[in-house]
Structure formats: structure tokens, C-alpha cells
């Protein structure tokens, strides 16, 4: 009995140290910074003017973007989306998954729009000939997303907006992109699945409905997931990953 109690106590301490304390610290910092939009109607959804006008960038481009989510959720997670532009096209195409209406949205917002007043970041970009080759595959991956019907969205643990983008990135591994560790929902493996191996066999994930699991591989390094919160280490591009904070690089 004493042995079981000690194991339980140590498990609780590990969970607190690796997941709960960093997540609470991230939330406290988010609240301390203040100035966050408090409602959908008053939030800024306009372009952040991060991307050049489409006609000023004649080559094909692909962007994976993310921004902090709204209100208190912004202390824990980001919302992500995919942007594409064909060679010579006059406009970008933006693809998001949302929780209302038709879940997969195309161009509901500017390609680089603020999300709930929070400025976006470019997570990854591909340009030129490689982008030309990959855009049709991205479009195919978007069409094949299994949770694209009304009612398929679930904010936690998924499938949500980040589950959608993670699916696209998994289906097109040549992009060489992965979502940040605070993209809550990206690790949702799908209903009835526990084991997931990326098509290029560069990442292995074991996960129970996005609630608990781990991942190991070239793309994610070593990660542990608990209640959608991720902690881990990236050895290939040295960094640590903390719940809420996301990736913190060493260089």
C-alpha cells in the first residue's frame, strides 16, 4: 500500500511540474499582459498586414499560420490555418476549420487577419516551384479531412481547428512543417485510433483521444501530452516545449 501511495504521489508531482504549473504560469502571464478582446463582436478580425499583396509576390506560396485564441483560452492555445497562392494569382486562399456553420471555411478572413485581435505568426512557409507542386496535394488533403461536416467540431480535445491543419500537414509531409506544441487539438488521432505514423515515417504518435499520449520522431522530437497540454524536447532544432508557452528555442 505504501509503495502504491508513493508511486501515486510521485506521479502527481510529475504531472504538476511538467503540465499544470507551466500551464498556469502561461495563463497568469496572459492575464497580466491584459488588453485582450472580450467579445467576438468587438474583436479585431482585420488584416495584420504581415503578408505582401498577392500580386507583389508572383511565385506560388504556402503559409502555415497561427495566432492566440480568444479570451482566457489565449493563455493556453493558438488557432491555426493554411494559406496558399498559385503562381501569378491575384489573391491568397485561406483555409480554417471553425465551430459554427460549415466547418471548413475558405477566405472567411484575410489571409493574415488577426484572430480575436491577436496578431498571427508565420509558422512555416514554402515558395516557388516546391509550392506549385504541393498546393494540389494540400487541396486534396483538405478535401479528405474526415471531420468536415456540421457538428464535427469539438473545441477539446478535438477534432478542432488545429486537428484540421495537423491533418493537412500530416498528409503532405514534404511541407516539412508541424504545428506548435500549444496548438491544442493537433494531437487528436481520430476516433477509434491510438497509433498514428506519419506518411513519411518520420514521426510516431501514441495517443488516447487527444487526452494522453506521447510522440517521438524527427518532426516533434520527444513530446508528452496530457489533457491536450504538451511538454517535450526537440533535439534536432534545439528547444524545449512547455504547456501554454509553446516552443522555446535555445538559439
What is the spatial distance between Cα 27 and Cα 32, in angstroms, rounded to a whole number?
Answer: 9
5-14, 45-54, 168-177, range with the lowest pLDDT: 5-14
- Quote the cell numbers at residue 80: 491555426
Predicted model pTM:
0.93
Mean pLDDT (whole number) for 166-192 = 92
Number of domains the chain contains: 1
Q: What is the pLDDT of residue 1?
A: 65
Q: How far apart are the first and last CA of the chain?
A: 47
Q: What percent of the chain has pLDDT over 70?
A: 98
Q: Can you tell me which residue has the cell 499582459?
A: 33
Q: 173 — phi, psi (to 5°)?
A: -65, -20
Q: Can you tell me which residue has the cell 503578408?
A: 51
Nearest partner of 141 among 102, 101, 104, 170, judged by Cα: 170
Mean pLDDT (whole number) for 158-175 = 94
Mean pLDDT (whole number) for 166-182 = 92
Supply the range of the domain harboring residue 58: 2-249
Residue 72 has a CB neighbour count (10 Å cut-off) of 11
Q: Is 40's pLDDT higher than 90?
A: no
Nearest partner of 142 among 163, 111, 114, 121, judged by Cα: 163
Q: Can you tell me which residue has the cell 496578431?
A: 119
Higher pLDDT among residues 8 and 97, named by residue: 97
Mean pLDDT (whole number) for 161-186 = 93
Q: Is 221's pLDDT higher than 80?
A: yes
CB-based burial of residue 139 (10 Å sphere; 0-12 exposed, 13-18 middle, 19+ buried)? middle
What is the spatial distance between Cα 78 and Cα 183, in angstroms, rounded to a whole number?
Answer: 5
What is the spatial distance between Cα 93 and Cα 99, in angstroms, rounded to a whole number?
Answer: 20
Q: What is the pLDDT of residue 134?
A: 98
Q: Is 250's pLDDT higher than 90?
A: no
Q: What is the pLDDT of residue 246?
A: 93
Say which residues have a Cβ less than 8 Å from residue 155's Cβ, sequence separation at least 6: 99, 185
- pLDDT per residue as tens digits for the range 113-132: 999 999 999 999 999 999 99
Mean pLDDT (whole number) for 221-241 = 93
Amino acid at each position: 500500500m505504501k509503495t502504491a501511495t508513493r508511486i501515486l504521489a510521485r506521479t502527481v508531482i510529475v504531472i504538476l511540474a511538467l503540465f499544470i504549473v507551466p500551464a498556469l504560469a502561461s495563463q497568469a502571464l496572459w492575464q497580466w499582459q491584459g488588453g485582450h478582446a472580450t467579445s467576438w463582436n468587438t474583436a479585431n478580425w482585420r488584416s495584420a498586414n504581415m503578408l505582401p499583396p498577392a500580386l507583389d509576390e508572383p511565385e506560388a506560396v504556402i503559409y502555415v499560420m497561427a495566432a492566440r485564441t480568444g479570451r482566457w483560452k489565449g493563455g493556453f492555445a493558438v488557432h491555426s490555418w493554411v494559406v496558399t497562392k498559385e503562381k501569378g494569382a491575384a489573391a491568397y486562399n485561406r483555409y480554417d476549420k471553425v465551430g459554427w456553420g460549415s466547418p471548413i471555411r475558405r477566405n472567411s478572413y484575410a489571409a493574415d487577419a488577426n484572430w480575436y485581435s491577436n496578431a498571427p505568426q508565420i509558422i512555416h512557409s514554402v515558395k516557388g516551384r516546391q509550392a506549385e507542386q504541393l498546393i494540389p496535394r494540400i487541396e486534396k488533403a483538405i478535401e479528405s479531412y474526415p471531420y468536415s461536416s456540421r457538428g464535427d467540431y469539438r473545441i477539446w480535445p478535438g477534432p478542432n481547428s488545429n486537428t484540421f491543419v495537423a491533418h493537412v500537414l500530416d498528409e503532405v509531409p514534404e511541407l516539412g512543417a508541424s504545428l506548435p506544441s500549444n496548438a491544442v487539438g493537433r494531437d487528436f488521432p481520430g476516433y477509434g485510433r491510438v497509433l498514428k505514423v506519419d506518411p513519411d515515417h518520420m514521426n510516431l504518435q501514441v495517443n488516447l483521444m487527444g487526452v494522453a499520449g506521447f510522440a517521438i520522431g524527427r518532426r516533434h522530437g520527444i513530446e508528452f501530452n496530457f489533457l491536450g497540454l504538451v511538454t517535450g524536447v526537440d533535439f534536432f532544432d534545439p528547444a524545449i516545449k512547455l504547456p501554454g508557452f509553446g516552443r522555446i528555442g535555445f538559439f
